[in-house]
Amino acid sequence: MKTRNYAWGVGGVADNLLTFGLAWTIIPVFNIGYGVDAFWLGIAIFLPRVIDVLTDPLMGILSDRSKLRWGRRKPFIFIGAVLMSLFFALLWMPPVSALEHVAVETTTENWFGLPPLPAGDELMLLLWIAGVYTLIALSYTVFSVPYIALGYEFARNYDIITKVMASRLYFTTIASFGVTWLYALSVSDQFGGDETLGMRSVGIWVGIAALLTGIIPALICTEEPHGTTVEKKAPIGEVLKATLGNRAFILVMSSMLLFVIAIYTAGVMGNHINIFYVAQGDKVVGAKLAAISANIMIGCNLIGMYLMMRVSRCLDKRTTALICFGLIFVGNASYWWTWNPSFPEMQYLSSAVIGFGNSGIWLMLDSMIGDVTKDDEARSGVQREGLFGAGKSFMFKIAVAVTSITGALVIGVSGFEEQVLPDEGVQLNLRLLYIGLQCGGVAVASAIIWFFPISRERAEENERIINERVARLISEAASPGNV
């Protein structure tokens, strides 16, 4: 059992490398490195994510209903891992080099105040990003939806579900140590400080790591039937309504949606703040500060995950989630004082506080979704882990897609201009937007999760109902009349 849990958890490395690896690098590499306008870059990233979002429920239904000889989940996990790793490495090899920006005096305003329409090499870069990103996103759907569903099938117990989810989060957290250094590696002396060259090599190594870890769940994990029924050929609309209309599920997803929008929108400014405010324009020093800060946060994630798992056993998941949100709020608010050019390392204190809360909140939200799948199965007698997993991925990707636009917009709102050293006013705007968005999003997400209805007692009752149903079905199948 432990071997299966750990093998499934290893797949989280590939998941983390692809999702957070892209989020951590794509804007600084193409905005700071290639010089692509932040607004049009956001549009190029947004469109593939919208296409990706629409395919998640379909992938969930396909996986739930699949009758392939190798299993309902594993074939898709294997194929998705291969494809998304290949396309990730390809993304950083556009047929166009960095743009050369020449200051031009404009006598007319652009349409609705938007930046000039892209043309030439910039347009070619944007089309490349949009096209390859779409292939990454679709491949990731094929991998991630069945992968998450496979984990939800492993347990029914309230606390054991948390342990299963933790096995994945431990691996994703460890992978984050590498993810946070991707941009710093790309601008290292080895590549002459040029991220446009550096990410070509870094992208290949990340793709290889994602491939090797992504196929492990497909090769090692086993799929064991629960004995309950699988969704019949009901209309897709009815199937979606049963999951996306589930109140407990919507509460968890709404909280996650707002939290992700806040941290991703603000997160794109992290490198900008460290480079141009804390490091006073030194790209290498700023990137290293951001990476070390993130590594401290991740180290505290590992400790915090264990502590919050213990807290959830003593209390419950909702209360633990609220504690985690509180830590994240305090840590982000403290950046106002700890982002200090005179003492750059002070920001590590804020990162540590956030780290203790971050891992706990992801663990609790994942575990709560596991409780939702068992709550639904107890009441309906139908297994829909694939569709709930797709619903989670659907909402997460909506949030990430929205941040493709909002992340680019906040950079523009701050007054930041590509390849221009920002003045004190712009630096102040970046910090105000970062802290305000993070703290505001966390506050609203906390208010939503307060109303999560599945208590420990209700989860234990669901476990009893499912176990009795499975025992009855097994008994009926073994009766002489069915032999």
Tokens for 155? 């347990």
Low-confidence winner among 179-193, 332-346, 468-482 (lowest mean pLDDT): 468-482
**Token couple for 215:** 């196929």
* For residue 103, pLDDT beyond 60: no
Would you place residue 444 in the very low, low, confident or very high pLDDT band (cuts 50, 70, 90)? very high
Q: Give the model confidence (pLDDT) of 213-255 as tens digits.
A: 999 988 887 776 544 444 444 455 555 566 667 889 889 989 9
Two tokens, residue 145: 């939806």
Residue 273's pLDDT band (cuts 50, 70, 90): confident
DSSP string, 215-270: SHHHHH------SSEE--S--HHHHHHHHHT-HHHHHHHHHHHHHHHHHHHHHTTH
Q: Which one-letter amino acid corresponds to residue 292?
A: I
Which of 140-149, 307-316, 351-360, 412-421 shows the lowest mean pLDDT across its residues?
A: 412-421
> Rounded CA gap, 388 and 369, in Å?
8
Task: Please say if the pLDDT value at position 475 is more than 90.
Answer: no
Please state the rounded mean pLDDT for residues 22-27.
80
Using the CB atoms, write b or e for 20-40: b if 16+ within 10 Å.
bbbbbbbbbbbbbbbbbbbbb
What are 136-161's pLDDT values in tens digits?
989 988 998 888 878 777 766 777 77
The single-letter code of the amino acid at 369 is I
**Mind listing the domains of the chain with CATH numbers?**
2-98+118-478 (1.20.1250.20)
Average pLDDT of 452-476? 84
pLDDT of residue 234: 47
Question: According to the model, what pLDDT value does residue 56 have?
Answer: 73
Residue 469 buriedness (CB in 10 A; 0-12 / 13-18 / 19+): middle
**Is the CA virtual torsion 312, 316, 318, 322 positive or negative?**
negative
Does the structure show a pLDDT above 80 at 285?
yes
Q: 46-87, pLDDT tens digit by residue? A: 878 777 777 777 787 777 777 777 777 889 999 999 999 999
Mean pLDDT of 176-190: 80
Whether residue 477 is predicted with pLDDT greater than 80 in this model: the reply is no
Q: What is the pLDDT of residue 37?
A: 81
Percent of the chain with pLDDT over 70: 88
Distance between CA atoms of 224 and 55, rounded to whole angstroms? 26
Share of the chain above pLDDT 90, in %: 23
pLDDT band per the 50, 70, 90 thresholds, residue 89? very high
- Helix, strand counts (H, E) of the chain: 18, 2
Could you give phi then psi for residue 230, rounded to 5 degrees?
-105, 145
Q: Which pair of structure tokens corresponds to residue 127?
A: 């089309």
pLDDT of residue 231: 46
Range ranked top by mean pLDDT from 4-18, 100-114, 321-335 = 321-335
CA dist., res. 329 & res. 357, Å (int) = 9
What predicted TM-score, i.e. pTM, was given to this entire model?
0.69
Mean pLDDT of the chain: 81
| Calpha distance 481→474 (Å, rounded) | 13
pLDDT confidence bin for 105, thresholds 50/70/90: very low
Report how far residue 71's alpha carbon sits from residue 87's, in angstroms, rounded to the nearest whole number: 25
Check pLDDT > 50 for residue 107.
Answer: no
Nearest alpha carbon to residue 323 among 275, 381, 373, 363: 363
Torsion sign over Cα 399, 403, 406, 411: positive
- Token pair listed for 3: 């071997």
pLDDT of residue 104: 40
Q: What is the mean pLDDT of residues 26-41?
A: 82
What Rg, from alpha-carbon coordinates, does the chain have? 23
Work out the pLDDT band at 90, boundaries 50, 70, 90: very high
Give mean pLDDT, residues 101-125.
Answer: 61
